[in-house]
Structure 1
């Protein structure tokens, strides 16, 4: 079985209180929670460091777990939330995977969650999703993590740089001659792997690219990639929220 966890911090640097932001009568965190509830996940909980978020989730009928404030990543928050959840439930060993769901994607589609859940066969250690790159702008955007795959559908490398380098074509045309993918969406962790990766220290590749998943690769863990066509917008700033509201009101 797969447990869904939505990490939700209140003190976001760029958008404090973001999970509680109103989007046409529902908070961002409620929209994400309801999408997750409509998927194949056995249960969904919000992992938060703030009692205001926890109370809000409980008020709309959701489940929330309070976690420490000082977690360096959503992965660490997921591990604490899972251990807290396991202490209050019978047979927690029946949960084989934890799915880390981004709490700032209010238009997440349950089908996207199901695509990832369907790939979790017990052998997979870690899994996440990718989508094809269709423009030079996206390919060369350092804000997008590109992916190099092996022939088993596992990641060889994540990079903000476009890899491979196509030496016989201009960079603005690379995506026309090679299939590139970029990272999107959620992370699925087998529970024993989730515990293990939270014990890892900062790696050299992670430090260079500022991508947490490189720490796992550098330590030798395998990450299965699942292709998707769903690409829900992420709300990082108040300006992003304004764009979303204008789109909905159009």
Structure 2
């Protein structure tokens, strides 16, 4: 496939009204707002264009000194996917255009992962979404409902996502459960690539029953029969900021020597 046909946009949804950390995109890390760090990371990827999608002029104004492209969106979107759908419509993107949703609270997101998830979608024309996962190596993570698990088919396409410990090892998950040395358990990494045409359809769908139960928006795509490619992440993802403790951890990482991040 020609290089021009593999191009993609990186879009960073940045919502001001976080329930746990209001104003989270503007939280200061190493003297700069967190969203600026994310934008800089995305700029280091192969994206042909990097856009910040926000609902608040304070975020737009904070990014102005950096020269970042900002698209103002509605404030009532239920998810980052809905916000991306508005961006795709506002920019009048072709249905086959690929957008990568770069979480606005991951200031150390590896640019290589942004490139990888976009390439994965380009490599599977029948998929509407691509995303990433990494092996789970401890029982605590597997049984943590805040960690999303994914199981996939031989093709790499997702079979299901859940907060529950899937797959369930009937023989070895006695009390106490034991995690065997296998690649059966995968942790989902919330980095997505979408086709713009899919996003146009997605914004018209009501939340699916399983989505409501698990509180996982990717289940809406599976409910409507859309394929999601899941690749094993090419390198570790340091994770993002959901809590005050996460923010303190990221601040410490930025203060550490570059080789220790």
TM over 0.5: yes
Are the aligned partners of 2:89 and 2:200 in contact in 1 as well (CA < 8 Å)? no
Choose from 83, 86, 104 the match for 1:80.
86
Question: TM-score, length-normalised on structure 1?
Answer: 0.92
**Cα deviation, residue 237, structure 1:** 2.3
* 1:101-140 matches, cutoff 5 A: 101-121=102-122, 122-140=125-143
Alpha-carbon displacement from aligned partner over 1:176-230 (angstroms, at most 9, x marks no partner): 3552101003111111111111111111111111111111101111000011132
Corresponding residue SS for 1:168 = coil
Find the aligned partners of 1:201 and 1:220 in 2 and give their Cα distance.
14
Are the aligned partners of 1:133 and 1:175 in contact in 2 as well (CA < 8 Å)? no
1:205 corresponds to 2:210? yes
RMSD of aligned residue pairs (Cα, Å): 1.6
Are the aligned partners of 2:138 and 2:179 in contact in 1 as well (CA < 8 Å)? no
Structure 1 residue runs without a partner (length 5+): 87-91
* 1:44-123 matches, cutoff 5 A: 44-86=50-92, 92-93=93-94, 96-121=97-122, 122-123=125-126
Find the aligned partners of 1:230 and 1:138 in 2 and give their Cα distance.
16
Find the aligned partners of 2:121 and 2:212 in 1 and give their Cα distance.
29
Are the aligned partners of 1:2 and 1:95 in contact in 2 as well (CA < 8 Å)? no
Choose from 216, 227, 234 the match for 2:232.
227
Alpha-carbon displacement from aligned partner over 1:19-46 (angstroms, at most 9, x marks no partner): 1111112211011001101111110100
Structure 2 residue runs without a partner (length 5+): 1-6, 257-261
Alpha-carbon displacement from aligned partner over 1:159-190 (angstroms, at most 9, x marks no partner): 11112221211353234355210100311111
Are the aligned partners of 2:106 and 2:240 in contact in 1 as well (CA < 8 Å)? yes
Corresponding residue SS for 1:176 = coil
Corresponding residue SS for 1:196 = helix
Alignment size in residue pairs: 245
Choose from 13, 30, 45 the match for 1:24.
30
Corresponding residue SS for 1:200 = coil
